[in-house]
């Protein structure tokens, strides 16, 4: 995933240094936006997709503290991580900014390596699906969310655990969606076509024979959509705001299905002898 | 095979059985660079920050950090290393207390600052470092793994 960055500093020199450091970090960078004061920075955060803000404190028009305060009021600090880079040394000020949701503070003068390390730490904490233990924990939360949605929405009982390999000629459905916010990732569900038909039949409350492929496809997308919301609530609580993209649908063959099932970061759910595989995919 | 880097010298290798080592870095800079994809690496051991006399730098560029770092990287690239794969680590640059007096010229610190300036201008980060203080250090690079270790006063740690 490419990250969009915003640098808010009235010094063009500092902005150039930051841009160079960002390019050198090895992090995949999308756009680098620049603002010379808090007001322009705030406007940028509201109008563009920003994954990380690097902001100074002492700036004309609107300072960094005011910008963070306004971002905090609008609930933006919880979704867009902010790192303060400033000469300001007041512990009270720093603690106040941290209490408003600022993720890290770097005091000027800094070395490029210090900035790199802090950016890496913040991005890892925000988009942490890299640690194997975290992945396993997150997969269990995801599977729990799927089973709850299946139970409430479709009156179906799902259980997760051992993976099994499937070899048959059946077609499988795949639904994928992305969420962005204080953490960003994607969730993918692969399911047996027969399962999707049963799912649609149960959700819509009509006989299986009357289910068309379109209904099965929509039902899988809806399962993923509701699951995604349920997963985020289970993992992060009620407060954080996330942007959820529309689920994207595709058909896959048994070979791809088996491959996805065997991935170490996937979880297999069994529903009435039918198969469903879920995993995180950016 | 163990390859020893003398003062004001550098050595590099692409043979996986080689270990490159340089002893007793005081205020000198020990710069380790390793291409983690092509398994090529080396150590530079420079004494002084800047070559004031061009002829001296021409005779032995590795003696000075400003000329040494540039020559060292060029030799690595000639050997097949690629900049995007390089992991660069720094050691040494300490302020050695000699017979109770501190180095008035701050050679260690100057060495380190020249290194940082060259790397920053050439878009290279220092991946890790153990510099400064007042201890001598021995630095070793394993070509097979790229592991860099530092020894001093009977202790060893990875950089």
CA atoms within 13 Å, Cβ hemisphere of A141: 18
- H/E element holding B45? strand B40-46
Task: Report the SS3 class of residue A17.
Answer: helix
Per the listing, tokens 């756009």 go with A31
CATH of A3-127, one of 3.40.50.970, 3.40.50.300, 3.40.50.12280, 3.40.50.2300: 3.40.50.2300
CA quadruple B74, B79, B82, B85: dihedral positive or negative? Answer: negative
CATH number of the domain residue B49 falls in: 3.30.1330.200
Dihedral (Cα; A137, A141, A142, A146), 10-degree rounding: 150
Residue A206 has pLDDT above 80, yes or no: yes
Q: Do B125 and A112 touch (CB under 8 A)?
A: yes
CATH of A132-280, one of 3.40.630.30, 3.90.950.10, 1.20.1440.230, 3.40.1550.10: 3.40.1550.10
Distance CA B69, CA B75 (A): 10
Smallest CA–CA distance, residue B127 to chain A, in Å, is 8
Number of independent structural domains in chain B: 1
Interacting residues of B111 by C-beta distance below 8 A, sequence separation 6+: B27, B28, B29, B46, B48, B49, B65, B92, B93
Residues of B in contact with A113 (CB under 8 A): 125-126
pLDDT of residue B144: 93
- Domain containing residue B10: 2-158
Q: Do B116 and A111 touch (CB under 8 A)?
A: yes
Smallest CA–CA distance, residue A48 to chain B, in Å, is 28
Q: Do A112 and B123 touch (CB under 8 A)?
A: no
What is the overall mean pLDDT for chain A? 85
The pLDDT confidence band at residue A276, using thresholds 50, 70 and 90, is confident
ipTM of the modeled complex: 0.75
The pLDDT confidence band at residue A129, using thresholds 50, 70 and 90, is very low
Distance CA B47, CA B7 (A): 7
Residues of A in contact with B124 (CB under 8 A): 24
- The predicted-structure confidence for A219-243, as pLDDT tens digits, reads as follows 999 999 999 999 988 887 776 677 8
- A109 prior amide bond cis, ω within 30: yes
pLDDT of residue B106: 84
Q: Where are the domains of chain A?
A: 3-127, 132-280
């Amino acid at each position: 995933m490419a990250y969009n960055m915003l640098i808010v500093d009235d010094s063009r020199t500092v902005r150039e240094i930051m841009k160079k450091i960002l390019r050198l970090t090895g992090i995949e960078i999308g756009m680098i936006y620049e603002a010379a004061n808090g007001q322009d920075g705030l406007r940028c955060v509201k109008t563009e997709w920003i994954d990380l803000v690097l902001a100074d404190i002492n700036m004309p028009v609107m300072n960094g503290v005011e910008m963070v305060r306004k971002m905090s009021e609008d609930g933006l600090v919880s979704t867009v991580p902010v790192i303060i880079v400033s000469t300001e040394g007041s512990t009270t000020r720093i603690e106040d900014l941290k209490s408003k949701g600022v993720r890290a503070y770097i005091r000027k003068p800094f070395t490029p390596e210090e900035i790199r390390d802090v950016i890496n730490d913040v991005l890892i904490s925000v988009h942490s699906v890299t640690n194997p233990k975290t992945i396993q924990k997150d997969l269990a939360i995801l599977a729990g969310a799927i089973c709850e949605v299946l139970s409430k929405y479709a009156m179906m009982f799902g259980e997760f655990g051992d993976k099994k390999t499937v070899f048959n000629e059946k077609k499988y459905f795949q639904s994928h969606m992305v969420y962005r916010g204080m953490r960003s990732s994607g969730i993918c569900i692969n399911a047996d076509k027969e399962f999707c038909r049963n799912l649609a039949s149960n959700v819509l409350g009509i006989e299986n024979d009357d289910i068309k492929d379109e209904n099965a496809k929509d039902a899988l997308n809806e399962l993923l959509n509701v699951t995604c919301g349920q997963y985020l609530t289970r993992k992060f609580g009620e407060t954080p705001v996330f942007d959820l993209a529309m689920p994207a649908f595709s058909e896959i063959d048994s070979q791809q299905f088996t491959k996805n099932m065997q991935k170490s970061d996937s979880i297999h759910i069994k529903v009435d002898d039918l198969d469903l595989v879920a995993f995180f995919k950016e | 095979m163990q390859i020893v880097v003398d003062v004001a010298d550098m050595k590099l290798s692409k043979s996986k059985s080689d270990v490159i080592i340089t002893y007793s870095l005081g205020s000198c800079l020990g710069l380790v660079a390793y291409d983690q994809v092509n398994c090529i690496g080396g150590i530079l051991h420079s004494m002084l920050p800047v070559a004031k006399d061009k002829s001296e730098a021409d005779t032995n560029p590795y003696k000075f950090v400003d000329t040494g770092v540039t020559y060292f990287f060029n030799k690595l690239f000639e050997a097949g290393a690629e900049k995007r794969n390089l992991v660069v680590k720094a050691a040494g640059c300490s302020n050695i207390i000699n017979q109770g007096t501190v180095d008035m010229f701050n050679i260690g610190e100057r060495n380190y600052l020249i290194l940082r300036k060259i790397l920053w201008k050439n878009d290279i980060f220092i991946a890790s470092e153990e510099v400064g203080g007042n201890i001598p250090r021995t630095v070793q690079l394993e070509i097979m793994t790229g592991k860099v270790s530092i020894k001093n006063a009977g202790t060893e740690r990875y950089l």
